Structure 1
Amino acid sequence: MCFTIYELALNSDIQDRLREEIITGIEENDGQLTYELLSEFKYLDMVINESLRKFPPAFFLTRVCRKDFQIPGTNMIIPKNTDINVNIYSIHRDPEYYPEPEVFDPERFTPENIKLRPPATFIPFGLGPRKCIVSGRFGIMQSKMGIAKLIQNFEFTPCEKTTVPIDFAPSGIFLEPKNKMWLNVKKYE
């Protein structure tokens, strides 16, 4: 959620479009922000997915090769029981799949654009039966609710202490800023 708010602060046009979707949806739903309404916020989904692309929670995931595997198009074989590290951060910033990867662009996650990429190019929570539990409905819904309430009520802008681009902490398995994240927060009128 922090990275999403950070990007919205740097991209006021995206923040305004998201706020319009949220406020309009709530007004049309008798002032109620419900589970069903959150599920209908398509631009919010796109914003969160773009944030997860640019700032995946973990840098990499580790898997074990369960049988000998020949890498397609090569003579290389990965032997059974070999640990494999998949660099999520690099996949999500590969310009072959995400042109101008440093740009925050929720349009990458329209249904049409999603179909243009191989599925394994967006894996913020891993893949398969061992993917992170946060990828389930509760974790994502919790983030959607938090961001919706924040954007409904507040406007975020960068300040003189905002680090652009973000410097990341050099250690740990989770992606986190090296320093505090500073933004201006103003009540939305």
Structure 2
Amino acid sequence: MVLYTGRIPGPLIWPLLGNAAIFMIRPGDQLTLVDELMKRYGQYVRLWLGHELNIIVGNPADVRRLLTNNKVNKKGPAYKYMETFVGPGILSGGPTWRLHRKIANLSYNKKAIQHYSVASNKYAIRLAEVLGNKEPNVTFNVYHDVVKFTTLSTCDSIMGLSEDEIKNVRGMSAVVADTQDIYDFAYSNMTFWWLRLPLIYWLSGRKSKEKYYKTNIDLMTADIISLRKNAIEKYGVVEESMCVVDRYIMSGELTDQEVMWEIITFFTASQEATAKIASMVLLIFAHHQDWQDKVYKEIQDILGSNADYVSDEDLKKMTNLDMVYKEAVRYMPIGALIQRSIEEEVTVNDGEYVLPKGASLLLPIHLIHRDPQYWHEPNKIKPERFSPENAKNRDPNVFLPFSLGAMDCIGRVYAESLVKLIAVQVLRRVELEADGNIEDLQLHVAISVRFTKGYNLRVRPRTKGV
């Protein structure tokens, strides 16, 4: 394999460790290290992490080609450390991911999202009402409010649960509270090899923490399966309203354990990831009053005073809201650093470099979204960069917030719809504000990106236009 990569630049390789020593840093600093390596060696960097060959590819055109290449349709070895919680399915890229995703697709297509829109509107309005009752001039982390209602929306739409049923699902409140910690825990296992040594894993308390997380996940997912099986037996199912859990149960293709694993995947991907995006959009409004005013006026022009139900057609007309949404997922993409396994030899950089079978790709989406070669003032929030005039002159390969190809984010359409509905209903009821500059807020970069100290803002009720 070394013969294949001799021409790809990279840091000095040490015996046994390779380049692993330079990655013995905090998880939040590892993307910074990748950025430094790319600045030093270019858009293609060779790294040996012990005996595993990893190749960073930062050229956007090659990233697109690789993500859509059937020779690279397998997640990298780091994802196996998520299997403790999500099993060998869609998220970790196990052998069953294609079948499991094919079954789930029908619950995430545009037709399904339209069916979910009644519930999404309902919970967006209820979130907006909660924010409208907040004490004015008091700063708070809006994520904690947002995630409560993205959870309710996800349970209603994706899981098929009523609010009364949700109250009786064991472990759910703990899973919602711990989701970010669970993914940080998995990311630490991916990146800090010494933490995985059995003695250290036990003495450090990580084994007991893993058991705690897994117990709650198992309780929650088992209860959801039981509730949906009982509902199917009692009421049957209607194709157009089938949730993803129903589809898995009715397919007969999955064991109960496999369904449990996919439930936690879809649950967290739908409620936690969507909550982070929605919180980011609201924070942009709080820090950029001009864009808050533009979007509010747009909402009023399109909806008038009646917005109890906002349709997909209404959302499509909101071009300013769309620009803010796209800037939010550019600035804070769901997948910061993607790893893929190369299943067959493939070339990059116009054939100059050969990537051998068995190597792993590291695709730094967050860094591509911040590359000054492609983005003017990339570390600033500027929704106008997504205006039709500005977008048409930009390489389309440099915007990859939900990945690409067969393993892209299955929930991207659901997330966009729910986030935009939340933005509309919140802005109709409250004005948002925040201190300082959003660009100065420290980022926590792990599997995804979030603000280290939360999404802090203030609200005050709107005095007219509602």
Question: TM (normalized to structure 2)?
Answer: 0.37
Alignment of 1:21-170 (within 5 A): 21-27=298-304, 31=307, 32-73=309-350, 75-136=352-413, 138-159=414-435, 165-169=440-444
Moved more, 88-97 or 110-119: 110-119
1:183 equivalent to 2:183? Answer: no
Among all aligned residue pairs of Structure 1 and Structure 2, give the percentage whose two residues are the same amino acid: 26
Aligned partner of 2:283 in structure 1 is 6
- 1:92, 1:122 within 8 Å by CA — same for their partners in 2? yes
Write out per-residue CA displacement over residues 26-49 of structure 1, whole angstroms, 9 at most, x where no aligned residue. 118x54522221121111111100
Question: 1-side partners of 2:336 and 2:314: how far apart?
Answer: 32
Question: 2-side partners of 1:90 and 1:110: how far apart?
Answer: 22
Write out per-residue CA displacement over residues 65-100 of structure 1, whole angstroms, 9 at most, x where no aligned residue. 233222225632111232111111100011111110
For residue 23 of structure 1, report the CA deviation from its aligned partner: 1.5
For residue 148 of structure 1, report the CA deviation from its aligned partner: 1.0
- 1:50, 1:104 within 8 Å by CA — same for their partners in 2? yes
For residue 107 of structure 1, report the CA deviation from its aligned partner: 1.6
What secondary structure, in the 3-state scheme, does the structure 1 residue paired with 2:406 have? helix
Kindly indicate which of the two structures has a greater share of residues assigned to helix.
Answer: 2
Paired residue total: 185
- 1:163, 1:181 within 8 Å by CA — same for their partners in 2? no
Question: 2-side partners of 1:71 and 1:33: how far apart?
Answer: 45
Structure 2 spans left out of the alignment, 5+ residues: 1-277
For residue 8 of structure 1, report the CA deviation from its aligned partner: 1.4
Aligned partner of 2:146 in structure 1 is none
Question: 2-side partners of 1:70 and 1:156: how far apart?
Answer: 49
- 1:57, 1:174 within 8 Å by CA — same for their partners in 2? yes
Question: 1-side partners of 2:408 and 2:391: how far apart?
Answer: 20
Question: 2-side partners of 1:116 and 1:72: how far apart?
Answer: 22
**Which structure has the larger Rg over C-alpha atoms?**
2
What secondary structure, in the 3-state scheme, does the structure 2 residue paired with 1:183 have? strand
What secondary structure, in the 3-state scheme, does the structure 2 residue paired with 1:186 have? strand
What secondary structure, in the 3-state scheme, does the structure 1 residue paired with 2:362 have? strand
Structure 1 spans left out of the alignment, 5+ residues: none
Question: 2-side partners of 1:140 and 1:181: how far apart?
Answer: 19
What secondary structure, in the 3-state scheme, does the structure 2 residue paired with 1:77 have? strand
Aligned partner of 2:447 in structure 1 is 173
- 2:287, 2:438 within 8 Å by CA — same for their partners in 1? no
Q: 1:91 to 1:164 in 2, by over 3 A?
A: closer
Letter in 2 for 1:3: M
- 1:58, 1:175 within 8 Å by CA — same for their partners in 2? yes
What secondary structure, in the 3-state scheme, does the structure 1 residue paired with 2:456 have? coil
Letter in 2 for 1:38: L
Q: 1:148 to 1:78 in 2, by over 3 A?
A: same
Letter in 1 for 2:363: V
- 1:107, 1:113 within 8 Å by CA — same for their partners in 2? yes
Letter in 1 for 2:391: I
Q: 1:87 to 1:157 in 2, by over 3 A?
A: same
Question: 2-side partners of 1:166 and 1:16: how far apart?
Answer: 23
Question: 2-side partners of 1:66 and 1:118: how far apart?
Answer: 28
For residue 108 of structure 1, report the CA deviation from its aligned partner: 1.3
Question: TM (normalized to structure 1)?
Answer: 0.88
For residue 114 of structure 1, report the CA deviation from its aligned partner: 2.2
Question: 2-side partners of 1:188 and 1:164: how far apart?
Answer: 26
What secondary structure, in the 3-state scheme, does the structure 1 residue paired with 2:338 have? strand
Letter in 2 for 1:52: V
